[in-house]
Amino acid sequence: MTDGNSWQAPVAEGALDASVRVPGSKSITNRAFVLAALSAGPTLVREPLDSRDARLMLAALAELGAPAEHTADGVRVQPLTDGAGSVSVALGNAGTVARFTPPLATLGSRTVHFDGDPAIRRRPVAPLLTALAALGADIDDGDRGAPPFTVRGHGGLRGGAVELDSSASSQFLSALLLAAPAFTEGVTVRLVGRPPSEPHIAMTLDMLRRFGASPERHADEFHVPPATLALADYRVEPDLSTAAPFVVAPLLAGGTVRIEGWPVETTQPGDWLRSLVRELGGKAVLDGTGLTVTGGEAVRGAELNLHEVGELTPVVAALLCFADGPSRISGVAHLRGHETDRLAALATELTALGGDVTETEDGLRIRPAPLHGGTFHTYDDHRLVMAGAVLGLRVPGIAVADPATVGKTFPGFVEAWDRLVRGDRDG
């Protein structure tokens, strides 16, 4: 039930028994759109995500000269064509748009202004802009190292060798690698510092290969030679991070939830949820058609380093509030530069509902404590809406503020969650 600008997250009143289909992966969709724009011919992207971030990416590519059309089978993206004059790219609060599209602006001759929500102005982008400038790009960021900034295209980018500190976000590295086949000399990136989110880097390399590029990695060095990309048809996997609240739900409510179409092989970080379920006492069975999760007796407390799967932190933190012993989440200092400062937001909101949650330098410490109802503020962060939903399974009276912000990655989330938990119950 949505009331004004909040949503009463439903309490699970019996064991779950449901099958769920989640929308396409944000990370795969937005990479596919970028690689399609860089390809020599049109690409049909099948089963793409349709959400705020995906629409922002399509709008950005259209501004940059690569229009797309929705067809009965998906989204057909046309190759980038050059143009003149000034255009504006709206970033919203989409990290993938803010990091993946500036390199594309260097390939044409337009002057491209980038800006977005107040939140994106606080998210890091400086190491990417510095690396692009070192590779020959003409960028004016007013020394802010953050949006708004302007990229003046001069008809292509030289590319070559560059050092990059991608420790604040793996997206800086992915951004350079995705565009590199179109740079005159390709790119050789030597990392300083360790990036988070290794699966997302593997995803970038895998998708580059599928589109015909030949990226190589030797430890901290990445090389992408120039290449002509082409792929007529690409199918997007379901988003396994969006699936996270549905995967953990039976651990709190009992019963079984089946996620349809869970891939048997994937680079998505959400695939780690299968081992999490087992570690916390549940069962997760993957077959050729989906993942079936069954809850256990109790949720065990755990020590989890989430450096590689940081985007799962809000849902995992909500889950661990119900564990039978203390838990610790570490390795996620970079979450302070996500949609909001997620560590501060989670500590504040979970504590306000009675939780015993403290922020550490690189994560959260969570001790068992009874939660009570109240407003769960979501800070314009889709994954906090999902975390609030998880709390509501066990705690009556959780009002999740601004549920529409979940439209960043799953516009139909509230309806899908109500169906999962309430089944046919009305009201």
Ligand X SMILES: C=C(OP(=O)(O)O)C(=O)O
Q: Which is nearer to ligand X, 258 or 338 (CB)?
A: 338
Longest dimension (CA), the chain: 63
Report the nearest approach of ligand S3P to the CB of residue 420 (Å).
Answer: 23
Which of ligand S3P, ligand X, none sits in contact with 25, Cβ below 5 to 8 A by type? none
Footprint of ligand S3P on residues 4-33 (CB under 6 A)? Answer: 27
Distance CA 316, CA 300 (A): 12
- Among the residue ranges 39-47, 166-174, 182-190, 354-362, the one whose residues contact ligand S3P (CB under 6 A): 166-174
Task: Based on the shown chain and the rule CB under 6 A, indicate whether residue 171 belongs to the binding site for ligand S3P.
Answer: yes
SS (H, E, C) 330-351: ECCHHHHHCCCCHHHHHHHHHH
Q: Check if 63 is active-site.
A: no
Q: Is 85 left (phi over 0), alpha (psi -120 to 50) or beta?
A: left
Write the CB contacts of 217 (distance below 8 Å, at least 6 apart in sequence).
205, 223
CB 386 within 8 A of CB 248: no
Report the nearest approach of ligand S3P to the CB of residue 205 (Å).
Answer: 12
Write the CB contacts of 176 (distance below 8 Å, at least 6 apart in sequence).
103, 128, 131, 132, 135, 162, 164, 187, 189
Footprint of ligand X on residues 302-321 (CB under 6 A)? Answer: 311
- Among the residue ranges 77-85, 164-172, 315-323, 364-372, the one whose residues contact ligand S3P (CB under 6 A): 164-172
- DSSP E strand stretches across 240-349: 255-260, 283-287, 290-294, 303-305, 327-330
CA Rg, the chain, in Å?
A: 21
Please check if 342 is assigned to a binding site.
yes
Q: Work out the burial of residue 118: count CB atoms within 10 Å of its CB; fewer than 13 is exposed, 13-18 middle, 19 or more buried.
A: exposed
Which of ligand S3P, ligand X, none sits in contact with 94, Cβ below 5 to 8 A by type? ligand X
Using CB under 6 A, which of 48, 102, 196, 363 touches ligand S3P? 196
Report the nearest approach of ligand X to the CB of residue 53 (Å).
Answer: 6
Q: Which residues are annotated as a binding site for phosphoenolpyruvate?
A: 26, 95, 123, 171, 342, 383, 408
Report the binding-site residues for 3-phosphoshikimate: 26-27, 31, 169-171, 197, 311, 338
Q: Which residues bind ligand S3P (CB under 6 A)?
A: 27, 95-96, 169-171, 174, 196-197, 200, 310-311, 334
